[in-house]
Structure 1
């Protein structure tokens, strides 16, 4: 996990420096997307799992769906950033929106599973 996180930051810094690009690019948010959406979220899920034991096969499918959405989001943000730095004419906003939608749906399903488990434990 940390290699993916570090690669996003290094690629952003070196690619923009190599191309003399100083404006905003979505490459700058690849690093934070991975850091927050992968590491921090799953550390929080470990704490919740330890207390409420909510993970079952259904939740594992939701988390797999989440990982697909996360990796697709970061991949498309990287492509969009490269397009911005190279001043190419391409729009992938719809695909990024779909990837974010996958993230949103899957995290809502995980949160509903946590809510149901917490409600059952009281």
Structure 2
């Protein structure tokens, strides 16, 4: 459980740093439009901190969630996918604020890498849900055995 609280804490710190960077960078550059930088903060809070707080609650129940390969795969894929997605949002947002034109290749590269991050996130969520389902099934079986 402590590991998941540490993940939540790390994502909360990154989310706050992303929010401060967005505010200060746009203020410094007198930018008032929409930018991908404005979404980094909320993505890291919701998809990072809140998700891992919920995972900590489930892991703390003692249903054996951590023993499933699907859960370990979730941890790896999700913790690669979320930072990758956030970094690509920053890579998209900085040129937006600075009004830097991106070449078609650079634009496609940012979109492609962000897409890979989203695929990893989506796969991680599916694996988490499968793990939770297995843990719930195991808990039900154990409860029926004690009757």
TM-score by length of 2: 0.77
Query: Of 98, 115, 127, which residue of structure 2 is paired with 1:97?
Result: 115
- Select the residue among 103, 128, 131 that pairs with 1:113: 131
The runs of 5 or more residues in structure 1 that have no matched partner are none
Q: How many residue pairs end up in the alignment?
A: 122
The structure whose Rg is larger is 2
The C-alpha deviation readout for 1:83-119, integer Å capped at 9, x for no partner, is 1111222312222111111100011111101101212
Which residue number in structure 1 is paired with residue 41 of structure 2?
31
- TM-fit CA distance, 1:57: 6.1
Output the aligned Cα RMSD: 1.4
CA distance, structure 2, for counterparts of residue 10 and residue 47 of structure 1: 29
Note the residue ranges of structure 2 that are not aligned, 5 or more in a row: 1-9, 141-147
Question: What CA distance in whole angstroms lies between the structure 2 residues aligned with 1:47 and 1:78?
Answer: 31
* Corresponding position: 1:53 with 2:53: no
Runs of 4+ residues over 3 Å off in structure 1: none
Report the TM-score, using the length of structure 1 for normalisation: 0.92
Structure 2 CA distance, aligned partners of 1:88 and 1:100? 25
The question of 1:66 aligning with 2:78 is answered yes
